Structure 1
Amino acid sequence: MRRGRTRKQPETQENVRPSTRHFGATPAYGPLSDSEVTKVIGTAISLMASSGIVFEPGTEADDLLRDAGCTLGDDGIVKIPEAVTQRALETVARKTVLYDRNGENPVTIDNENTIFMPGMTNIGVYDDATGEPRPSTREDLAAITRLSDGLPNIDMICVSVKNVADSTIHGEIDEFLCMMENTTKPLEYLCEYPVSLDAVIEMATAVRGSADALRDKPYFFHLVTPLPVSFAQIHIDQILSAVRAGVPVGVGTLSIGGASSPITLAGCLVHCLMTDFAAIVLGQLAVEGSFCMGGSDVFFMEPATGAIGSFSQMSMGDMAAAQVRRSLGFPSLTASGGCTVARRFNQDAVWELSASTMNIFYHRPATVDYLGSLDQGLTFSEVALLFSDDQAGMLRKMWEGVSVTDEQIGTDLIDSLGPKGQYLAEQHTVDNCRTQVWNSRYLGPNIPLSNGGLPDQDLFERIALDLAERRKAPPPAAPDEAVMQVAKDVLARFREG
């Protein structure tokens, strides 16, 4: 609780990166009682010991798990003793800090900050000429990355869209190079092949100058995406490579309650935690004290259609997962805010994005990685990204909370003016009027009023005009020529033919 503390108000200029930290006297909202949180965690740990987790046999994980006292079956099912899981939950790092391409502007991932990113791995974009979805390209990834580089509430850059025409090892390594060329912000990366991660670590090492420098100032956050309670060799190898290189790693599955996990909220949550905790165990057995954090998404199937949806259930799942992780001191990764099932940026999308934004305000996840994703994460929309970035600005204004001091109350001013006073011309009003409001680009004071003199444009027109102007912005400075040569040499090793 932070009552009665004087806080400096942040600057409001768009070129100043706002604070990512949650302030305010109110705690994050949690739908579960303390006893329910304890039961969820205890059940997940117990089921890991009785039902088990699948680790593909024949990998380096076999010896790590066996030496720790786990029971390995011939079918790949590993039963992890409760004491092993408890030990891993105690030793795992609860915080990591990433730095931009220049080794500056630290971004903290923990349970007291929320980091926003565009993403993730959509396979389509909306064509400017036709307005219809088409397969995404490298040029699309570059353009979205440049756009995101200039947005004030985007803290890190993720692989927003895939280069569909190059769905190879070469292609996914090139996605890292593409982001590196088009933004100075820290990166979030994910890939299918362990060799791609090894290549990217080599590139990031060149950016920092040495392996030790990369370990000291990580440049990217790596995501590993296994199936629910099942780790294939490609996932195991990525976890081990990342923690040994000092690269912070988040491991999480996209569960679908009713399909790959129980359809009930509590059952899906426990199933997700089993995957998360198993990843933490593996990471700690490889490098104790490393940042290898679980971040599974508690998603659900719409019974009527079979599609991923059920907004209210997913929202409660996000809140419950964040509460459980926070009870352990863990950050809650990959919240579903900023993503919508709507096929286009329309009234449906605006409603869902706005509703999920307010959900984020209450449960305060560590990362929100899906800004700009429409159509159940299949198609990326730059317009949706701009809207969500503006909504993220609203959250950060609200997270500043209420500063209760005599100066902020205006105690002396109220006393001197008396009950018949007016405050319009007072210096206190001048000093504070701009610090108290959300400086929205599209809403609030930018909504046309009958007597406001603003053009009678709707929300979609206002965003479209802003997007056109932002596309004219110059790209960020290019990486050092020697770094680019190393990156190109690494990439060339994987070029087919």
Structure 2
Amino acid sequence: MRRSVHRQRAAAEGLAPAPPGPHSTASRPYDTMPAENVRRILDAALTLLETIGMRMETGTEADDLLRRAGCEVGGGVVKMPAPVVRAALDGCARSTRLWNRDGTRAIDIDKDHTWFMPGMTCIKVYDEETGEPRDSTRADLATVTRLAEGLDNIDAVCVACKDVPNSTLQGEIGEFLCMMENTTKPLEFLCEWTRSLEAAIAMASALRGGAGALRDKPYFLHIITPLPLFYAASHVEQLLLAVRAGVPVSVGTLAIGGASAPITTAGAVVQCLATDFAGMVLAQAVRPGAFCIGSTNPYFMEPATGGIGNLPQTMLGEQLICQVRRHLGLPSFTGLGGDARARRFGQDAVFEIATMMGQIYHTRPATCDYLGSLDQGITYSLHALLLCNEYAGMLRTLWAGTEVNDDTLALDLLAEIGLTGTVLGHEHTARHCRTNLWASRYFGGNEPLSTTDKPDETLYQRIDRDLKERLAMPGPAPLPADLLARLRAIHEDHATG
């Protein structure tokens, strides 16, 4: 219902339709588990919340809200009866729209689309001159954001890297303003301080022309990152603030099997879902029908080293949790995407990115985040972002499927040319030669094969050449001077007030 209302309004206002991104019409996602196991995992998550509960820092407004919703609250532990949790899952919004800076285009966040986004929150970047990692700055965030603006398969922008030299309230608020200035695409935001979220909401409201207009056309999705089975006061405050402002919310963190969650895949998934469900219960207690969706994803410890990795188990955990959310009719947010363990952009990173983004075809999350993140999310790579954009284009070519009709089956064509004829010069070939074609910038026709005249460059060299050309391009049109002045005033007011 909510989506249809949005589309009717967009048609009435003469707005441009959302860009392409559907993934469910031509082929089905892959279900790893039988339906019986999906139900068992759901039941286990509900049992965990009802009998064991979860920790939630005391002294916040959530205490009374959850008590009134039917939960047992005491001693920093909240126990949520299964009927309360099920009612929250049934009542939450299944979809929302994120609108671009101008309010003229939107992307549907739901279970039927996948959107690609860079990030998030790396604390280092690879220096453009030396290639070595260094602390990231606001200028680096501006560079990533401007680069993402020009990439066809990047649909929204997140805080890809932090302004490390200014790790203050003022610096964090400045990250939101930096993204506003350097892209026209919708945003994802996450922050440490609640006051930063207050500033982001104020800036987005100023952009839209008021709080009501922001609620009608959300500009950003806010990400809240509790620990597994624990919401600190800041997480609670941000959730209540965002939900009341009509800002779409994602709650979730990265649970680590063997460290912060059970080492078994099913056990880690249960803990992830329970953490998500708790935030969704609180959101529905604040505003029934709010869009607050879980996004916790399981990673797993490697017993041999203690490092975070174990790629097959992590991918399997991602598949399971996406299947459970899909069973509930809810969108998923991925923790994999382009987030590679490799220390720098090279053969290891290419393997990981190709493997993990290939899995996106099967799991069908609503968002594929972390594109461009290397070194276990510590260091951001512009080269990796360009490769991720490339693979996103390939996935969308696959999701488009293929049309099956008399013309594409081509029996009449074969009858016409006979068994000894050729289709090379036929009009049918000219009409369909670009059907299902992946217009790749680095592969296909742009590979340096010996049968082509392309320069004999490595993949890194091809991407690096493209990167240099893109970095030389101008960014988006600047914000109007009067609006920019208001945004900077909001920035200063919230950073010092």
Q: Aligning the two structures, in what range does the TM-score lie when normalised by the shorter sequence?
A: over 0.9
For 2:312, the aligned partner's letter is S
Partners in 1 of 2:419 and 2:451 — Cα distance? 31
Task: Give the Cα–Cα distance (whole angstroms) in 1 for the partners of residues 495 and 440 of structure 2.
Answer: 45
CA displacement at 1:432 relative to structure 2? 1.3
Give the distance between the partners of 1:128 and 1:22, measured in 2 at CA: 35
The letter of the residue matching 1:36 is N
Partner of 1:193: 193
User: Residue type of the partner of 2:58?
Assistant: P
Conserved 8 A contact 2:318-2:334: no
Q: Are 2:228 and 1:231 equivalent residues in the alignment?
A: no
User: 1: distance between equivalents of 2:66 and 2:495?
Assistant: 36
Provide the identity percentage. 51
* Correspondence for 2:249: 249
Shift of 1:286: 0.3
Deviates more, 1:136-145 or 1:400-409: 400-409
- 8 Å Cα contact 1:84-1:281 kept in structure 2: yes
- Name 1:393's counterpart in structure 2: 393
Q: Name the amino acid aligned to 1:357.
A: M
Q: Deviation of residue 23 (structure 1)?
A: 4.5
List aligned pairs for 1:350-389, cutoff 5 A: 350-389=350-389
**Counterpart-to-counterpart distance in 2, 1:210 and 1:61:** 27
- Report the alpha carbon displacement of residue 97 of structure 1 after superposing the two structures with TM: 0.6
Is 1:210–2:179 an aligned residue pair?
A: no
Query: What SS does structure 2 have at the residue aligned with 1:44?
Result: helix
What is residue 115 of structure 1 aligned with on the other side?
A: 115
Q: Secondary structure at the match of 1:318?
A: helix
1:377 is paired with a residue whose SS is: coil
Q: Aligned with 1:122: secondary structure? A: coil
Distance 1:391 1:191 in 2: 29
Distance 2:113 2:463 in 1: 27
> What SS does structure 1 have at the residue aligned with 2:396?
helix
Of stretches 328-337 and 18-27 in structure 1, the one that deviates more from structure 2 is 18-27
Structure 2 distance, partners of 1:496, 1:95, is 36
- 1:387 to 1:456, Cα distance in 2 relative to 1, 3 A: same
C-alpha separation in 1, matches of 2:408 and 2:114: 26
SS at structure 2 position matched to 1:491: helix
Q: Say whether 1:179 aligns with 2:175.
A: no
Q: Normalising to structure 2: TM-score of the pair?
A: 0.95
Look up the match of 2:34.
33
> Structure 1-normalised TM-score?
0.95
Letter in 1 for 2:294: G
Given that 1:344 and 1:374 are in contact with CA atoms closer than 8 Å, whether structure 2 keeps it comes out as: yes
Q: Tell me the amino acid that sits aligned with residue 20 of structure 2.
A: S
Deviation at 1:129, TM superposition (A): 2.3
| Corresponding position of 1:20 | 21
For residue 298 of structure 1, report the CA deviation from its aligned partner.
Answer: 1.2
Partners of 1:18 and 1:25 in 2: CA distance: 17
Letter in 2 for 1:386: L
2:330 partner letter: F
- Asked if 1 retains the 8 angstrom alpha-carbon contact of 2:196 and 2:494, the reply is no
What is the aligned partner in structure 2 of residue 71 from structure 1? 72
Does the 8 Å CA contact 2:26/2:400 hold for their aligned counterparts?
no
Contact preservation (8 Å) 1:71, 1:79: yes
* Structure 1 unaligned blocks of 5 or more: 1-15
AA matched with 1:347: Q
Please state how far the C-alpha of 1:306 moved relative to its aligned partner: 1.6
Q: CA deviation at 1:25?
A: 4.2
Q: Over residues 340-390 of structure 1, what are the superposed CA-to-partner deviations in whole Å (9 max), with x where a residue is unaligned? A: 000011111111111111111111111111000000000000000001100
Cα 1:495/1:332, change in 2 over 3 Å: closer
1:44-443 superposed matches below 5 A: 44-74=45-75, 76-443=76-443
Distance 1:23 1:56, change over 3 A: closer
1:297-336 Cα offsets, whole Å, 9 max, x none, are 1111111222211110111111111100000000011331
**Residues 250-307 of structure 1, C-alpha deviation per residue, up to 9 Å, x if partnerless?**
0001101100000110000000000010011000000000100111011111112222
- Distance across 1 between alignment mates of 2:307 and 2:113: 31
Structure 1 letter corresponding to 2:47: S
> Which residue does 2:8 correspond to in 1?
none
Paired residues, what number? 481
The residue identity in structure 1 corresponding to 2:419 is P
CA distance in 2, matches of 1:285, 1:353: 39
Instruction: Report the counterpart of residue 3 of structure 2 in structure 1.
Output: none
Q: 1:18 to 1:457 in 2, by over 3 A?
A: farther
Taking the aligned partners of 2:147 and 2:27, their CA distance within structure 1 comes to 34
Distance 1:277 1:495 in 2: 33
Q: Is the 8 A contact 2:18 2:105 kept in 1?
A: no
- 2:19–2:106 CA contact under 8 A, matched in 1: no
Rounded to whole Å, the distance in 2 between the matches of 1:106 and 1:387 is 25
Task: Name the CA distance, whole Å, in 2 between partners of 1:121 and 1:303.
Answer: 27
Question: Against the structure 1 CA distance between its residues 146 and 17, is the aligned structure 2 distance closer, same or farther, given a 3 Å change threshold?
Answer: farther
Residue 268 of structure 1 aligns with an amino acid whose one-letter code is: A
Take 1:460 and 1:349, find their aligned partners in 2: how far apart are those partners?
11
Q: 1:494 offset after TM fit, Å?
A: 4.3
Mark the CA change 1:360 to 1:414 in structure 2 (over 3 Å): closer, same or farther.
same
CA distance in 2, matches of 1:275, 1:101: 32
**Quick check: 1:458 aligned with 2:455?**
no
Name the CA distance, whole Å, in 2 between partners of 1:134 and 1:447.
32
The SS at the match of 2:93 is coil
8 Å CA contact retained: 1:335, 1:365: no
Shift in Å at residue 475 of structure 1? 1.1
Of residues 236-245 and 408-417 in structure 1, the stretch that sits farther from structure 2 once superposed is 408-417
State the Cα deviation string for residues 450-474 of structure 1 (Å, max 9, x = none): 1211111110100000000000111
The CA deviation at 1:405 is 1.1
Residue 91 of structure 1 contacts residue 288 of structure 1 at CA under 8 Å; is this kept in 2? yes
* Alignment deviations for residues 89-144 of structure 1 (CA, whole Å, 9 cap, x no partner): 00000101111000011111111110100100000001122211000000000011
CA contact (8 A) 1:17 1:153 kept: no
The alpha-carbon deviation at position 496 of structure 1 amounts to: 5.9
The change in CA–CA distance for 1:323 and 1:23 in structure 2 (over 3 A counts) is: closer
8 Å Cα contact 1:276/1:296 also seen in 2: yes
User: What SS does structure 1 have at the residue aligned with 2:50?
Assistant: helix
Secondary structure, aligned partner of 2:170: helix
Residue 479 of structure 2 corresponds to 479
1:48 counterpart letter in structure 2: L
- Describe the SS at the equivalent of 2:222: strand
Q: 2: CA distance between counterparts of 1:304 and 1:494?
A: 47
**Residues 372-430 of structure 1: per-residue CA shift (max 9 Å, x gap):** 00000000000000011001000000001121111222232222222222111111111
User: Structure 1: how far apart are the matches of 2:187 and 2:86?
Assistant: 31
Which residue type is aligned with residue 144 of structure 2? I
